[in-house]
Every structure is written in C-alpha cells, then in structure tokens.
Amino acid sequence: MDLNKVVLFAANRGYALLSSRKALIQFFLDKGWQVVLATADDDDVKELVALGAVLEPVQFRRGGFSLLGDLTAARRLREIMAHWQPSLVHLFHAKPVIMGTLAAYKVLGDQARVVTTITGLGHAFIQGGFIAWLASAGYRRALPKADRTIFQNRDDKKLFLDKRWLSEDKSSLIAGSGIALDRFVYRDRSNNAEDSPVLIMLGRLLNQKGMPEFLEVARQVKTIKPKARFIWAGEEDAVHPDAVDMAMLRSQNDIDYIGRLDDVKPLLYEADLLLFPSYREGVPRAIMEAAATGLPTVGFDVPGVREAVSKGESGFLVQYRNVEQMTACVLLLLEDKALRLEMGKKANSLAKEAFDISAVQDAYLDIYRELGVSI
C-alpha cells in the first residue's frame, strides 16, 4: 500500500500527546514522516513542535456539549485533513475520536487509515443523561467508519461491543498508554517517618477524580493520625462542568493542594501511599508511575483502575465510593509497615511486567502495519 507519509495525531490537549506519545511521534519523524498535531496550542505541545512536528491548533471543549464550539472544532478538523491529506490518522479522547473519524471519512475516504483510542469514559458516562446519550450516539455513528479502535481496559471494550457500537474484528486491547520505566526508579521507603505519613493523589481538579472522597478519607484518618499529610497535585480545570469548587478547597484544612507539577517524581518519592479515589479511568498514568517507584495504591474497584492495581497484591481496591472501606484500607497500610512495603515491591514488579511504554508503542506500530501502513 503506497501512502503519503503524513500522519495526523489529534487529542484534547498537548499534554496527552507529550506524556504518552512523544516516543511514537519521534519514531515517525525519524522515519521521515510529516507529523501533524491537531490539538490545543498549549505549552506541552511546543515541546513536540521543537522536535519537528507541525501544530494545527484545534480547541476541543472538554466535558460537555457546546454547539458552536463543537461545530467549529469539527470544521477545523476537516480543513486540516483536506490540507495535509494524511495517510494515517490516530485520534485520542471522545471529541477528537468522534469528530475526527467522521471528518476523515468525509474528507479522506479510503486514502487514509483511521485508528482511534478510547482513553477512558469520563464525564459524559459518569454524569449520565443527555450528554451520555449524545456521546453514545457519536460513538455509534463514528466508530464503524474507523479501521481500528483501541481500548485501554477490558470494561470499556466490553461495553462498546455489547452495545454493538463496533465489531470485534475492528477492536483491539492495549492496556494503558505505558510509562517510561527508566524515569521512575524504585525507592526504598523503609526509613520513612512513621508518625507523619504522606498520602498523595495525582489528577485534575475534578469531582469525578474523587475529590469529595479524598477529603473525607483525610478527615477520618487525621482523627487517628493527626500528623498525616494528604497532598493533591494536578491542574485546575475551571471550564470543566465537573470542576472542583476552589473556594471550598481553599477553606478546608485537611489536604494540601499544590497545583500541577512539571515533575511528579519528587512527590512520588516522598509519598508513602497513593490514594486514588477516581470514579472511572482508561488506565491511570498516576498509578503506573507510583507503582514503578514502589508505591502501593488504594482506589475504587472501577474500570481502568482495576487494570493498574493487582487487588490485594500491589494495593487495595474497594467498593465504588465506599469511604469507610477506603479509610479502613488506608489505616491498615499506615499501621502495617511490612505490608505497605511488600505491596510497594509487588507494585514495582507489576510496573516492570505490564507498564513499559515501549511495549505500548510496539503494539501501536503493529496495528498500523496490520492496516497496511508502511513504516
């Protein structure tokens, strides 16, 4: 199959491409391909442009429906595809997947191979109602027109297949986006202070990431271990309909919010436990990175999270939104140092076995080749 050597990657924001797909983008650049990025014009994407990729700015309104904003983004994608005529299109996140697949079908026809990745089912599916219905209708219309859809966890794949939004032969499972294991080394925490443990959460400031539960667990734990520190690191997302009330966050005294970190490793190395009360994920990068450093996780037994935690081995998974169970598991690990350290070692072993980003990249490349792309 003789194709034009232009590949288009589209995602909600530059961070998603920089954090998980930088090596993939570099691979195509090294092979002499023109790499086009359809995403937000933010600081993260500038690093990829410095490598040689071309940015075509698109503003995707995340977390809800916006008639004007969504129509503008869809038209912009059609313009980009018409201009660049890519032979390979890879789309990430709900709106780029739905809009981008339909745009490619209309503009490029059979000349391009279209791959989509369902990175997780976030606000729309958690919230339910009209937004969930609208997202479902979009997937149902768009995905049959893609050449392959990649799922990051088994629950999402099963949901889409059960609803017949696409066929089994057009679906693949690649667990998570992977992490660069050489960046996150194992840390021996056996000498950490016992009376002032550090519990962390990495994630955007959204309620669906578990902010209400994180606050309540912190409040309960501090009645028993008053010197425990609960730290939340992640960016604000004020325009998102599920954004955390910042006035509420500033008024409480049980957790420390430290904003987005350019490098999460120092915080991971300082921590004793990852408390991850998110309601639903693809496969969370935070858990994978924490595991690589030898940090156990306590989270809800929900799609995506259960892919990243070996239940009872590398951490605890508790009933969805059950704060009492979550608090009990946190206290157990804080009070049983030997168990906490052993779970951390098993988490590190799991990371080495399952979270290597190079294996994820190889799996992506294999799919491109299966579809006839010469790389």
Q: What whole-number distance in Å separates Cα of residue 108 and Cα of residue 106? A: 6
DSSP code of residue 85: -
57-87 burial, b at 16+ Cβ within 10 Å, e below that, comes to: ebebbbbbeeeeebeebbebbbebbeebebb
Q: Are residues 140 and 163 in contact, defined by beta-carbon separation less than 8 angstroms?
A: yes
Predicted confidence at residue 123, as pLDDT, reads: 59
What tens digit of pLDDT does each residue of 142-151 get?
A: 999 999 999 9
SS3 call for 205: coil
- The pTM for the full model equals 0.91
Predicted confidence at residue 67, as pLDDT, reads: 76
What tens digit of pLDDT does each residue of 306-347 get?
A: 999 999 999 999 999 999 999 999 999 999 999 999 999 999
- pLDDT < 50 stretches in the chain: 1-2
Q: Are residues 52 and 35 in contact, defined by beta-carbon separation less than 8 angstroms?
A: yes
DSSP code of residue 356: B
**H helix intervals, the chain:** 14-30, 43-51, 67-84, 94-107, 123-127, 129-142, 154-162, 211-222, 246-251, 265-270, 285-292, 305-308, 323-335, 337-354, 357-370
Cα–Cα–Cα angle for 51, 86, 180, nearest 5°? 40
Predicted confidence at residue 69, as pLDDT, reads: 83
Tokens 């579809």 locate to 371
**Which phi and psi angles does 226 have, rounded to 5°?**
-65, -20
Q: What whole-number distance in Å separates Cα of residue 25 and Cα of residue 42? A: 17
Q: Are residues 298 and 318 in contact, defined by beta-carbon separation less than 8 angstroms?
A: yes
Tokens 């199959």 locate to 1
Q: Are residues 58 and 38 in contact, defined by beta-carbon separation less than 8 angstroms?
A: yes
